């Protein structure tokens, strides 16, 4: 158990819909990362937050957005869903700078299926 | 883009040492080498990391060449449960954007 919690584990929805994926980082971790992994593909970096502020953006679509709340949990919002958005979405947390070893701790992912 | 190059796949016999290479020829002085693995569709798992010196923990050993342009992850006695995709990453500890490449798919053969 990595200590990172992601909900829901599975989600099936239709094209055009909107979903929200939630991530609770490990206790004490200030940084949250989101990744997308399509079938048999590598991990694509989407976005990173540190202590509530956006720190880095990857190839995140404009239809996607995220935020990190004061209690440090994070949400990834996916809207106007398309078939190609079907994927595993992973959240990871770490202690960033000033302490810790910098490794990422990943949740078990949220599997999104768009029909 | 990922800063590392890894073979797409490797086989290793069960009980033997698995040696997974990684090339990071453009690594800078303050970048660490990290290894993760992903078993099937589970969340990736941290294995080990190092800067200059070789490192060992309960999971694996990491050998970094003197010029730091390449490294090898060693699983000393591979088991079937070590079948996974192994990712090598270089990053500074303050990096905000952590990019994973395609990794090496390791097959452990019974």
Q: In whole angstroms, give the CA distance from residue A93 to residue B1.
A: 21
Nearest C-alpha in B relative to A6:
B43
Q: Do A103 and B41 touch (CB under 8 A)?
A: no
The residues of chain B scoring below 50 in pLDDT are none
Nearest C-alpha in B relative to A2:
B45
- Across residues A76-85, what is the average pLDDT? 97
Across chain A, what does the average pLDDT equal? 92
The confidence band for A98, taking pLDDT boundaries of 50, 70 and 90, is very low
Measured between CB atoms, which of A92, A101, A111 is closest to B49? A101
Helix (H, G, I), strand (E, B) or coil at A72: coil
Residue B104's pLDDT is: 97
Q: Do A33 and B46 touch (CB under 8 A)?
A: no
Q: Are B64 and B19 within 8 A, CB to CB?
A: no
The confidence band for A101, taking pLDDT boundaries of 50, 70 and 90, is low
Percent of all residues in chain A with a pLDDT value above 70, rounded to a whole number: 95
Residue A99's pLDDT is: 40
Residue B95's pLDDT is: 66
Q: In whole angstroms, give the CA distance from residue A45 to residue B101.
A: 10
Q: Is the pLDDT assigned to residue A100 strictly greater than 50?
A: no
Q: Is the pLDDT assigned to residue A24 strictly greater than 60?
A: yes
Q: Is the pLDDT assigned to residue A50 strictly greater than 60?
A: yes
Residue A24: which of A99, A110, A103, A115 has the closest Cα?
A: A110
């Amino acid at each position: 158990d990595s200590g990172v919690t992601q909900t829901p584990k599975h989600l099936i929805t239709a094209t055009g819909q909107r979903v929200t994926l939630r991530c609770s980082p490990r206790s004490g971790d200030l940084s949250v990362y989101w990744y997308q992994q399509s079938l048999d593909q590598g991990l694509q970096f989407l976005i990173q937050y540190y202590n509530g502020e956006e720190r880095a953006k990857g190839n995140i679509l404009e239809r996607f957005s995220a935020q990190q709340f004061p209690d440090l949990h994070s949400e990834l919002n996916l809207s106007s869903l398309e078939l190609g958005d079907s994927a595993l979405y992973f959240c990871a947390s770490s202690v960033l700078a000033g302490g810790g070893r910098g490794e990422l701790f990943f949740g078990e992912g949220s599997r999104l299926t768009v029909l | 883009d990922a800063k590392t190059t890894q073979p797409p796949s490797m086989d290793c016999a069960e009980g033997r040492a698995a040696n997974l290479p990684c090339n990071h020829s453009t690594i800078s002085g303050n970048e660490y080498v990290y290894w993760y693995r992903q078993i099937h569709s589970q969340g990736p798992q941290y294995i080990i990391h190092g800067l200059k010196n070789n490192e060992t923990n309960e999971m694996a050993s990491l050998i970094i060449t003197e010029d730091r342009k390449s490294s090898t992850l060693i699983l000393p006695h591979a088991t079937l449960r070590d079948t996974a995709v192994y990712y090598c990453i270089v990053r500074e500890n303050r990096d905000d954007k952590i990019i994973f490449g395609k990794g090496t798919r390791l097959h452990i053969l019974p």
